[in-house]
Amino acid sequence: MKTVFLGGTCNGSLWREQLLALLDPTMVSAFNPVVPNWTPECQAEEIRQRETSDICLYVITPKMTGVYSIAEVVDDSNKRPSKTVFCFVENDGTASFEKHQVKALNAVGKMVVANGAKSFATLVDVAAFLNT
């Protein structure tokens, strides 16, 4: 059983639910850090899960409002490339990235890969990787 930390965009994005529906529950156990009430205990558990999971996945969508997840994926791709996976999706509900944002996220993906980690273009591609 592979364990996966589901990092990345929050803010009402449904990418986690979409990905979970694509994962084989006999092959993958995923930790979703999104909770209704964020507490210091939740933050400590998120940090623990990020450190102990087999895979740290960071999915970025246009609903992202902060930039910390970008810093996390680049940091992890340097420190733990064998367990780091990046993906960005251009559309999330009615939200879409602009062309210059897509260009920048493609550059982040190239940086992550150059560091030895993985980058995928779609959640379907991520699920296929995780399910094997």
Topology (CATH) of 2-130: Rossmann fold (3.40.50)
**What is the per-residue pLDDT for 131?**
97
Hey, CA dihedral for 24, 59, 114, 55, is it positive or negative? negative
Give long-range contacts, CB 8 A cutoff, 24+ apart: 103-109.
105/60, 108/70, 108/73, 108/74
**What is the per-residue pLDDT for 6?**
98
Residues of the chain short of pLDDT 70, as ranges, are: none
Beta carbons within 8 Å of 31's beta carbon, 6+ residues apart = 3, 4, 5, 6, 49, 53
